[in-house]
Amino acid sequence: MSNPLQIVVCAGISPDPLQTLEPTHDAANPGLKNELVLPAVLDPWAASALYEAAALAAKNPGSKVWLVSLGPKAKLQQVLMTIAQKVPFELVPIDGPIGGFPDAHSTAAALAAAIDSIPGLDRSNLLLFGGWESATRGAGVTLQLVGELLGITDQFQGVDQITLRDDGSFEILERVEGGKHQVSVCTGLPALLGWATGNLAEPRNNPQIGMANMRTIMPALQKAKPATLDPNTLSYLSVALPKQQRTTRVVKDLSPDQIAAELVEWIGAE
């Protein structure tokens, strides 16, 4: 037996991990140099959440996935041209600032308001997904705040697996310390899941899904509501790249025996 699901996925955008990042020197208004033109991707852990949501929706006919994303409209459009090829979703865009430095509480308030405004969404029957941290702010805070604002008091973080049961309950695996998973059973919705990597590979591009998604994405982007994020007294005193640059000793002419002997000594040294 399967039940139609309503899954809302919160996902930001972040610079492609292989890009060189350089902060601006204005600590009072921090950002990354050329951040708007850096190649961007859907935030990796949030992307895991989206792919898991789509897989769940596919297994439960009648389900629907919304993708709620905050960022500059032009940048969202650029990233979503790629993501739209992978899984079906309806976009709920918020036209706001890019990057990891805005306050998480304000970001959460904007996301919660956008979710609250989704027509026909039954919040008592909601699965709220997102990444357990972003690749930008990396605080692991925003999703919990969104859940709290929406009154969701069954929250899970570092999720790698959800197993739905016929009686409406579900089992969750959450990452905890020491390379283990905590196993929980929740008797029903609503619930919030902050995903780690999950278990799914990135879906292949599917032009048919892309065409279907783009019919709704472009109008949604045109109607995206602007959001101004209050700093909530957050102020930055410095923003910098780490200064540590090591002097690397490159050892080219030692045999495996010699390297092994050197490493044994190094491992044993206090």
Partner 1 sequence: MESILVLTHADESGSALTKPSLEAVTAGLELAARLAAPLTIGIVAVDAQTASKALPSTARILAVSGEPYAQPRYATDAAACAALWRAANPTIVLAPASSRFTRVLPSVAHRLGGLIDTHISSLQVEAISGTDAIEVTRWFYRQRVEAVLTRTARPWFLLLDPGTNAAFASTGASAPIEEIQFDPPTTKTTVTGFRAPEQGQQTIRPDAKLLFVAGAGWTKKQPDGQTHVPEAADLILGFLTATGASLGSSKSLVDQGGEGNSVLPFLTHLNQIGQTGATPRHAKGLSTCCHGEEPHVVGWRFIADRRAISLDPNCGWTRGKADVVYVADAFPVIAKLNALLQAQKP
- Cα–Cα nearest to 71, from 190, 176, 227, 206: 227
Under rule CB under 8 A, residue 164 binds partner 1: no
Under rule CB under 8 A, residue 74 binds partner 1: no
Among 45, 51, 66, 89, binds partner 1 (CB under 8 A): 45
Give the rounded distance of the alpha carbon of 183 from its chain centre: 22
Q: Is the peptide bond before 93 cis (omega within 30 degrees of 0)?
A: no
Which residues inside 221-250 make contact with partner 1, applying CB under 8 A? 232-242, 245-250
CB-based contact 112:89 (threshold 8 Å) = no
Q: Which stretch binds partner 1 (CB under 8 A): 1-9, 89-97, 115-123, 137-145?
A: 137-145
58 vs 176, beta carbon nearer partner 1: 176
Least distance from partner 1 to the Cβ atom of residue 198, Å:
8
Among 122, 166, 167, 177, binds partner 1 (CB under 8 A): 177
208 vs 235, beta carbon nearer partner 1: 235
Distance (Å, rounded) from C-alpha 204 to C-alpha 75? Answer: 22
61 vs 188, beta carbon nearer partner 1: 188
Under rule CB under 8 A, residue 28 binds partner 1: no
Least distance from partner 1 to the Cβ atom of residue 232, Å:
6
Distance (Å, rounded) from C-alpha 192 to C-alpha 149? Answer: 12
Q: Which stretch binds partner 1 (CB under 8 A): 76-84, 89-97, 141-149, 220-228?
A: 141-149
Among 29, 117, 163, 182, binds partner 1 (CB under 8 A): 182
Write the DSSP symbol of residue 123. G
Helix (H) or strand (E) holding 7: strand 6-10
Least distance from partner 1 to the Cβ atom of residue 174, Å:
7
Helix (H) or strand (E) holding 263: helix 256-268
- Cα–Cα nearest to 79, from 40, 108, 118, 135: 40
